[in-house]
Homo-oligomer: A and B are copies of this chain.
Amino acid sequence: MEQDYQIFKLGDWELQSGEKIPDAHLAYKTFGDPKSPAIVYPTWFSGAIADNVWLVGKDKALNPREFFIIITALFGNGQSSSPSNQKQIESEPVPFPKCSFYDNVRAQYTLVTQHLGITHLRAVIGWSMGAAQTFQWATQYPDFMDLAIPFCGSAKTSVHNQVFLEGVKSALLAAKKTVSAGSGLIGLSKTGETVRVWSAEEKELGLKAFGRAYAGWGFSQAFYREKLYETVLGYKDLEDFMQNFWEKWACSKEPENLLVMLQTWQNGDVSLQGPYNGDFEKAIASITAKTLVLPCKTDLYFP
C-alpha cells in the first residue's frame, strides 16, 4: 500500500516516564501552502491520518487555500511509532513504552518548529483524544497559538472515563488470557511486562469483544433510543450494527496499538507537566489562546 503521509524522524525519543521510544518517528501530512497561517490537527483514538481529512477542503472548516494544515498522528496509531511498526531484536523483544499526551505534543512541537520551521500557529484543533492534545498544546506551549478548538474531549480524563476505558481494555485482554491491572490507571508506571504476541484467533476474539464493549460508550443513549444506526447509518438492525460497524472497526486495528493509545488517554491530565505540578486550575489558567470548547451533539443527525 502506498504511504500517503510523511515521516519525521525523532531519534530515540525520551518520555515523561524516563523510558524512551528507540528510533522514534512521527507520521504527519500537510495540506496547503507552508507560508499560510498554520494549524495543527492531531488524530483521535484509533484514528489514522486519513480519518481526519473530512474536515479539510475548500468548502470545509479547514481550507487549504487559507491555511497550512498539519495532521499529526498519535504514538500508537500505527503510523507514528507504534507496537505494530516497532523494530525488535528478535532475541530480546522490548515492550512499547507508555506515552503521555505531553510526550506526543512535544514530538509534534519538534516537528512543527524544527522540521517545518514554523514559529507560531494560528490554531490547534482536534476531536476526542485530538481535543485532549489540543488542551495539551495550549498548556504546554501557551504562547504558540492564537486559537485552541478542542471538540468532544477533555483536558483531564475523568475517573469515569478511565473506568470505561478499563472495561474495554479488559474485554480485549481477556482474549489474550491477561487480567487487566491498574498499571494504566492514574499515573504513568514502568512498563515492565513482557511483549505480548497475539495469535490470529486471540486477536479476532479480543478485538470483537473490544468493539462490542465499546459500542455502549461510543454513541449516546439518544442515538440508540432513536435507532439512528438504522435510520441514519443504514444498518439492518442492532446485531448488524454490532458486527458491521463495531466489530469491523475494532478488527481493523492492532490490539497492542490500541492499548498504547488507551493508556495515553487514561492518563490524560494537563496538570501533569513541569510548571503545574498537579495543579489543574493553574494549568488551565495558563492558557492564553482564545479557546472554543465544543461538545458532541446527537441531535445534529436529526432531520
Contacts and interface: CB of A to CB of B under 8 A. Distances in A.
A33 interface: no
A159 B224 contact: yes
Interface string A214-232: 1111001100110100000
A98 interface: no
Given A160-B221, A167-B214, A205 B185 contact: no
A150 to B, nearest CB: 19
Given A173-B209, A179-B205, A180-B212, A221 B158 contact: yes
A160 B212 contact: no
B238 A174 contact: no
B205 A177 contact: yes
Contact of A238 (B171, B182, B213): B182
Contact of A239 (B177, B185, B216): B185
Interface of A: 158-160, 162-164, 166-175, 177-182, 185-186, 201, 204-206, 208-209, 212-217, 220-221, 224-225, 227, 237-239, 242-243
